[in-house]
Amino acid sequence: MIASTDTAIIGAGPYGLCLSAYLTGAGVPHQILGDPMHAWRNYTPPGMMMRSEPFAASLYAPKEGYSIEAYCRSRGYPYKPVGMLLPRELFVEYAMWFQSQLVSHVRNVEVTDLQRRGEHFQLTLNDGGTLLARRVVIAMGLKGFAFVPPALRHMPKPAVLHSSEFGALDWARQKDIAIVGGGQSALGLAALLLDIGAARVRVIVRDEELTWYANPVEARGLISRILSPEGGLGRGWPAHIISEYPFVFRLLSRERRARYVATAWGPSGAWWLRDRVLGKVEVLLNSQISRAQMIGDRVGLHLVHGKDESSDITAEHLIVATGFRVDMARHAFLSTDIVDGLRLTDGAPDLTRNFETHVAGLYVVGPAAATSFGPVMRFVYGAKYAAPHLAAHIARRFAGESQAQPVAQELADAETGATVQGSSLFAAPASNLEGAFNPDARQVR
């Protein structure tokens, strides 16, 4: 049978969990679909530290007591808002606790198909179920957006892997590893690989020098804080405005927004990585890969250094840490009609002030919203604005539609021939579990 809800959230990472918490607080019936914190649990290496300062690594809820500070203090863990290294393991532990306390209704399923059906959306799930929703929010983080330079796209796995394709690094012990990229991912992986006993680690960097974030200042005077206020992305007025007021960024023209997102907050390493990399990792600056091929069981790379120099190196494995590029068309579950309706520019959707795409009722939050709301959407901190703002918008629409007409018969009869109790389809349930598919009852409750 076909289940129903008002809003379906696709993705159970930081943005999806925060939005669900706010929708629950607003009394909006919804379902959140996905494996909680899947990418963080499975595709970030143990020992990795969060790039963000601890104060900027919280998840957000409509009530107090669920910040990472509150979690650490309740368990006796050390905590400082600035200047403390935050292990990936602690962040994941905290996020899973947040989910268990506020978003226990997550359905651990994947969406395999999303179609428009009249004024509604029909979601096909990998457990065989089907879900109807008035609204859909895509909160999938960076899933599907890994960028591999053209010169490397023909290379076989596992000789060449993107940094998003693995978690634990045990396989790299005693291996000769090359990494391409000059940002946090590349530099952090280089340090971790040395720690676990890689035989050799080289980092191939396009730029002429590495860029490092400045060391944080834990205690600052009033004048210092006025002249250079703190923001989720760093210190200074530009970082503060971009972090705290994403709606201001959206006031810029689309061209200026796209240019800013493409060039600002470029590849750089966290302050605490500098001593773990400099003098310990071989860094090949001003280098780009022009050709790649397998030479026996090794990866052969032809590097170009500036205009007139080149060299050849080999490694047992190459890790591609060249980041991500948003392209909504890469989400295979989106129907052709929906992709066409998004009106993508360089793969990114243009969003209204309420995160709505050009497909009415379809919303996007997280990194895919960065071109509209700024670089902060690439970080957990962006959920501080996105989750309450979008939840309030959806709540207003839900309240205005509380007297909705029954769902069209063609929706009720779609494929399975199931019927839906249209008069109560979008009524607010006592809990978010109501309206979920019940395989035993074989009906929508």
Which pLDDT tens digit goes with each residue over 100-159? 999 999 999 999 999 999 889 999 999 999 999 999 999 999 999 999 999 999 999 999
Q: For 341-374, how does the pLDDT look when each residue is reduced to its tens digit (9 = 90+)?
A: 999 999 999 999 999 999 999 999 999 999 999 9
Q: For 285-331, how does the pLDDT look when each residue is reduced to its tens digit (9 = 90+)?
A: 999 999 999 999 999 999 999 888 999 999 999 999 999 999 999 99
pLDDT recorded at residue 442 = 27
Beta pairing, strands 282-284 & 234-235: unpaired
Residue that terminates a domain, selected from 320, 339, 363:
320
Same domain assignment for residues 9 and 89: yes
With 50 as the cut, is the pLDDT of residue 414 above it? Answer: no
Is residue 216 a part of any domain in this protein?
A: no
User: Which residue from 343, 206, 212 is spatially nearest to 273, judged by alpha carbons?
Assistant: 212
With 50 as the cut, is the pLDDT of residue 428 above it? Answer: no
Same domain assignment for residues 197 and 127: no
Tokens of 410: 């063609």
Q: Share the mean pLDDT of the chain.
A: 89
pLDDT recorded at residue 418 = 30
With 70 as the cut, is the pLDDT of residue 212 above it? Answer: yes
Residue that terminates a domain, selected from 286, 320, 354:
320
pLDDT recorded at residue 1 = 64
Same domain assignment for residues 176 and 309: yes
Label residue 198 by pLDDT band (50, 70, 90).
Answer: very high
Structural contact between residues 59 and 98, judged by C-beta atoms closer than 8 angstroms: yes
pLDDT recorded at residue 403 = 55
Is residue 440 a part of any domain in this protein?
A: yes
Q: What is the Rg, in whole angstroms, of the alpha carbon atoms belonging to the chain?
A: 23
With 70 as the cut, is the pLDDT of residue 93 above it? Answer: yes
Is residue 252 a part of any domain in this protein?
A: no
Q: Residue 319's beta-bridge partner residues?
A: 161, 179
For position 99, which CATH number holds? 3.50.50.60
Beta pairing, strands 130-138 & 2-10: parallel
Label residue 266 by pLDDT band (50, 70, 90).
Answer: confident
With 50 as the cut, is the pLDDT of residue 407 above it? Answer: no
Same domain assignment for residues 296 and 342: no
Amino acid identity of residue 333, one-letter, is F
d(CA 348, CA 199): 40
pLDDT recorded at residue 426 = 38
With 50 as the cut, is the pLDDT of residue 443 above it? Answer: no
Same domain assignment for residues 305 and 345: no
d(CA 445, CA 435): 5
Backbone angles phi, psi at 364, to 5 degrees: -135, 130
Is residue 257 a part of any domain in this protein?
A: no
Domain carrying residue 189: 150-211+266-320
With 70 as the cut, is the pLDDT of residue 415 above it? Answer: no
What is the arithmetic mean of pLDDT over 401-429?
40
With 80 as the cut, is the pLDDT of residue 269 above it? Answer: yes
Residue that the structure tokens 């860029």 belong to: 211
> DSSP 3-state assignment of 443?
strand
ω into residue 367 within 30 of 0, thus cis?
A: no
Q: Please state the domain count of the chain.
A: 2
Q: For 13-67, how does the pLDDT look when each residue is reduced to its tens digit (9 = 90+)?
A: 999 999 999 999 999 999 999 999 999 999 999 999 998 999 999 999 999 999 9
Is residue 237 a part of any domain in this protein?
A: no
Could you tell me what percentage of the chain is helix, strand and coil, using 3-state DSSP and rounding each to the nearest 5?
A: 35, 20, 45
Same domain assignment for residues 291 and 382: no
pLDDT recorded at residue 227 = 80
What is the arithmetic mean of pLDDT over 162-170?
93
Is residue 68 a part of any domain in this protein?
A: yes
With 80 as the cut, is the pLDDT of residue 424 above it? Answer: no
Is residue 218 a part of any domain in this protein?
A: no
Inter-helix orientation angle 88-102/14-26, to 10°? 20
Residue that terminates a domain, selected from 320, 342, 362:
320
Least confident stretch, 164-173, 261-270, 324-333, 405-414: 405-414
Is residue 92 a part of any domain in this protein?
A: yes
Same domain assignment for residues 283 and 431: no
Percent of the chain surpassing pLDDT 90: 78
Same domain assignment for residues 22 and 136: yes
Same domain assignment for residues 81 and 154: no
Same domain assignment for residues 179 and 89: no
Same domain assignment for residues 336 and 410: yes
pLDDT recorded at residue 157 = 95
More confident residue, 97 or 439: 97
pLDDT recorded at residue 38 = 97
pLDDT recorded at residue 214 = 79
Same domain assignment for residues 56 and 28: yes
